[in-house]
Structure formats: C-alpha cells, structure tokens
Amino acid sequence: MDDVIDLGEYGDAFRTDPHPVYAGLRERGPVHRIRPPGSTPDYWSWLVVGHEEVRAALADPRLSKDGRRIGMVFNDEQLIGRHLLGTDPPEHTRLRGLVSRAFTMRRVERLRPRVQEITDGLLDAMLPLGRADLVESLAYPLPITVICELLGVPEMDRAEFRKQSTEVVAPTSPENSYDAVLRLGEYLTELIEDKRRSGPGDDLLGDLIRTTAEDGDRLSPAELRGMAFLLLIAGHETTVNLITNAVHALLTHPDQLAALRADMSLVDSAVEETLRHEGPVANATFRYAAEPLEIAGTPIAQGDPVMIGLTAADRDEARYPDPHRFDIHRDTRGHVAFGHGIHFCVGAPLARLEARTALRSLLERAPALTLDGPPGEWLPGMLIRGLRSLPVRW
C-alpha cells in the first residue's frame, strides 16, 4: 500500500531514538498506517500517536483485545492460556476481579521492607566493585527476585526464566519467540501442579489457586497459567527497564540529577517523569477493531490491527510543554505509561515501589555515580523500551 509508512526504513535510528519519528508523525496527524520494523512487506497496522487520541483509544470498547472477536487465536493464548491482556469484558472483568482479590494494595505495601532488603543486599554486593552494569547488578535482579518470591518461583529456575521472558517481549525471531512461549507454558504447568500437590503456600500463586469469588467462581488451570505468565513477565521486564531508564535519564541530565540529590523527596517525581519521558512500554499490545470505527476522523475497518503509542502520546507537545526535556519538577499527570481504562496495569503500585526504592537507595549510597562508557543497545521491537546494559561507576 502506498500510504503505509515503513518504520524499518529508519534503520537503527528508530530503535535507538524513535521519538523524532513519532514527533514527525504527530505533526502530520494523530493516526497513521505503519509497518513495524522487521515485518513482512504485506503486513501493516494503524498507529495512534496523539495524547488525546491515545487515551480515548485505550478506553474504547470497540477496540478489542480478544482476537476471537475477529477470528484470530494467538500463540500465547494457545500455548499458555487466556489472561488479562487478551480478553474483553465480561471475561476480563471476571479475571481481573479474581486476580485483584489476591494481588491487593495491602499485599504490595507488605512487600516494602522486603523490597528494601533485596535492594540493600544487591548494593552491598555491587558497591565495593567500583563499577558495574546497572542492569545485571540491580535493575534486573531486584524485580525478578521480588516477582519470583511473590509468585513462589524457585531461585534455581530464575536464570532460564529470564532468558525466555526477554525473548517473549523483545523477540530476536518469530521462531525463538514461539519456542520461549512454549517453554514458559510447560514450566508454569509444572510449577502450578507442584503447588497443588504440596498444598498452595502463602505466595501469590498459591492465593490465586485458592481464590474463589462469592459465587464460587475460580480460575481454571489454563487461566491460572495465563495469569502467572502475565504477572511474571509484566511484573519484571517492565520494571527492569523503568529502573534502567530512570538512572540513564538522570546520568545524562546532570542538572536533574543534582536537583534530585539536593532534595530526595523528589524521587517519586523522578520516577513519574521517567515513565512519561522514556517509559518501559513503548506501545500497548495490539487491539483489533471489533466493528468499523473512526479515530480522529480516520476510518478503521473491522478487523484492522491498532497499535496505541504510549511513548508517542507522552511526548505530545499538545499535552506536555517542551515534551522532549527531562524535568523532574514537571506535572506528569495524565501520562499513559501504565495504560488507561480497564487494562490499566494491575502491577503499577509494585513497579513504582521498586523503582522508587532502587533509585533512592542507589543515589544515597553512590554519591559519585556516573556513566562508565556508552550504554548497550536498545531492545528490538516496538513493545519494550529499554537498554540491554548500562555501565556505571562511582
């Protein structure tokens, strides 16, 4: 199609810094037909890039997360099970209600001392070395330890789990991504069966196995596996990159780092500005038009795939003045880094807790923190926004 914008033509520049491309698209309008990098020549999707239009699209029930409504079944659903990111009401309402009974704000708040303890232990091991890759030493092990302890995943399994989950969110090939989903499905089936046999413990997965609604409803084995899959992957991959992106932004904006060091009460604001400026999820997972509709005057046909640009929306100059400037004093209200509407991220409170704890503890204990050479490459694909490595010294 002549009107399809091939984002692959921008090459590595788009992977390294997609924001100028999104800004150029916004100048031309809020909705575009695009081909993601690495896609086949006949593949395309709609991409929504304006802040106002993104918030409306995220809450539009005509844009379905359930592929069955347009006759599609996806790999993760076949191999793992149905979960929150692949369902619409009333199924989504039911699943979210059951998960919310176990994954409560009270449970997240109870994790605060443990999150601090894990962070302190990681810094105890890292700081005597004088230099490290922040991803390997802090940004990855903190959230993976927290979510695995929360769900009850044995420590010995975590290295293999990380490898497979990274392949799912930033695939190196369709074949490798399929294999990773398959392996994770097999692993989670065994884990859930082990918990059933030994008696569910007091971890979140045990609670999900036990959880029953007032009407006696509970998660099926496939739904349990799907929820565990979603919580494990979304519960650590995004937070790894939130922590990394926050440290990277501060170290490349010395004035903002100095402002935060002068007033550590701004740490919450620094996390929120990171979410707006370089959030860990670049684009929401696909939605599909369940019926013909219009977005900002652009007709969308039934069955069309729609990608909703979270980072594009959060740098919309119509919503945020001077949007490309990283400013921890900014009013970030209205950012869509965690989504909007019924699919708003269920793990947002935990991600915020971990990022705030990691950032405060790191800056307090490493007053001379600085970059130690160029960062690693940005992850491939249009889903996750994060660096493979971030060398630092102090």
The domain that holds 92 is classified in CATH as 1.10.630.10
Residue 25 pLDDT grade (very low, low, confident, very high; cuts 50, 70, 90): very high
pLDDT above 90 as % of the chain? 65
For 318-365, the pLDDT digits (tens) are 999 999 999 999 999 999 999 999 999 999 999 999 999 999 999 999
Give, rounded to a whole angstrom, the gap between the first and last alpha carbons of the chain.
52
Does the structure show a pLDDT above 90 at 219?
Answer: no
Burial status of residue 287 (CB atoms within 10 A of its CB: 0-12, 13-18, 19 or more) = buried
Q: What is the dihedral of CA 82, 84, 86, 87, to 10 degrees?
A: 90
* pTM, rounded to two decimals: 0.92
Residue 171: the pLDDT is: 82
Range of the domain at 253: 5-393
CB 269 within 8 A of CB 332: yes
Residue 290 pLDDT grade (very low, low, confident, very high; cuts 50, 70, 90): very high
Does the structure show a pLDDT above 70 at 209?
Answer: yes
Residue 2: the pLDDT is: 59
Residue 243: the pLDDT is: 98
Closest CA to 72 of 271, 287, 224: 287
Residue where the block lists tokens 């309402």: 93
Q: How many domains does the chain have?
A: 1
* Mean predicted lDDT score pLDDT of the chain: 91
What is the distance between the alpha carbons of residues 7 and 393, in angstroms, rounded to a whole number? 35
- Which residue did the predictor score with more confidence, 245 or 174? 245
Q: What is the DSSP letter of 202?
A: S
Does the structure show a pLDDT above 90 at 128?
Answer: yes
- Which residue did the predictor score with more confidence, 15 or 154? 15
Residue 210 pLDDT grade (very low, low, confident, very high; cuts 50, 70, 90): confident
